[in-house]
A and B are shown apart, each in its own frame.
Chain A
C-alpha cells in the first residue's frame, strides 16, 4: 500500500494512442456507455509531449494495480478553477471527513490550477459520492488491472498543498 506523501506523476485521460514512456496505460469503459477512454501515467521527469496531462499523486498509480471503478473529474478546456477556490477546499474537507476510497488524488495543472480529481473503489464496492463532482461533473469508469494502486488516507486535517504544484493529498514537503 503506497502512502500519499512524496512524488507526483503525469496523468492523461482521453482518446490518444498508446503512449511511449508511460509507466501505466489502460483503456477504461465508461459506465454511462460512452466511448472507451485511455488512462495513462508518466514519471514526473518524463512529461509527454502532445498529450494533455495533469499532476496526480504517485500513489494513485500502480502498474500492478487491481481493477477499479474510478470517478473521473476532469475540468474541460477553458474552465480554470484555482486550486484554493473555496469549492475545492470544501471538497477536500468532505473527503477527509469520510474516506471510503481505495485511492484518491486531486489533479493539478501548472502550479495552482484545479484540473480535477480521480477517486477509486474496488469493483463490487458501492461507489461513494465524489465530493469533487460538485465542481465539475464526474464520469464513472470501469478500469482494468494495471493502473490504480492503493493509498493510505491522509492523516488530516491539513488541506494545504505542501509546496506549490503538488496534488493533494501529497502530505509532506
Chain B
C-alpha cells in the first residue's frame, strides 16, 4: 500500500531551501529558520480547516518541549502573512509561519490539493528534517490520522538529535 507521500517528502529527499515571507512579511529562508536544529516542516491547508486547527493546537501543546529541546517548527501555507499572523496569535504559537500566497512551491513539491479548487491550498503534509534539510520521516496528512502524533514527533526529534549532536553521550 502506498504511503501517499510525494517524492519531495520521502526519507532522504532534500527539501528545497524555501524562500518565503513570514507572518510579519519578512522574507526568510528555510535553512536560516532550521539553523542546525531538528525541524518539523508542516505544510498546511490554511487557517480555515478544522483539521488543521486541531493539529496545530496539538503542536502548540508540544512547543514548550521545543523551547528546551533545541528543535523547531516551521509552517507553510498559502494564507497571506497577515492571516498567518492572526492564526498564529490565536493559537498562541511561537514559531515561524511562512506564506506561499503566490504558490511558488506548490507544484514544485507536488503538494497542490487538486480536489480543493476553492482555496487551491497545500495538501497537508509534514516532514521532520535534519539540519541539512534532508527528510528524516515524511507524513501524508491528507487524512487527519496520517499526520504525525506528538509521540512520533518526539521520537523523530530524538533520533535526529542523537545523530547530529556530537555530545549526545555526555562527556566522561
| Interface assignment of A62: CB less than 8 Å from any CB of chain B | no
Q: Given that A3-B32, A93-B94, A172-B35 are contacting pairs, would A158 and B26 also be in contact in the complex, using a CB cutoff of 8 Å?
A: no
Q: Mark each residue of chain A from 153 to 173: 1 if its CB lies under 8 Å from any CB of chain B, else 0.
A: 101111110100000000111
Nearest Cβ distance between residue A152 and chain B, in whole angstroms? 7
Nearest Cβ distance between residue A31 and chain B, in whole angstroms? 26
Residue pairs across A and B with CB atoms within 8 Å: the count is: 62
Give the residue name and chain of the B residue nearest to A1 (CB).
B26
A159 engages B95 (CB within 8 Å): no
B67 engages A173 (CB within 8 Å): no
The range of chain A's interface size is 20 to 34
Interface positions, chain B 71-91, Cβ under 8 Å from A, are 71-74, 89
Question: Of B24, B36, B69, B70, which one neighbours A99 at CB under 8 angstroms?
Answer: B24
Question: Of B22, B72, B92, B93, which one neighbours A158 at CB under 8 angstroms?
Answer: B72
Other CB < 8 Å A-B pairs besides A155-B32, A158-B71, 15 of them? A3-B32, A93-B67, A96-B94, A97-B89, A152-B26, A155-B34, A156-B96, A157-B66, A157-B67, A157-B73, A158-B66, A158-B67, A160-B68, A160-B70, A173-B36
**Could you name 19 residue pairs across A and B whose Cβ atoms are closer than 8 Å?**
A5-B35, A5-B36, A97-B89, A97-B92, A98-B89, A152-B26, A152-B32, A153-B22, A153-B26, A155-B96, A156-B96, A157-B63, A157-B72, A157-B73, A158-B67, A158-B68, A158-B71, A160-B68, A173-B70
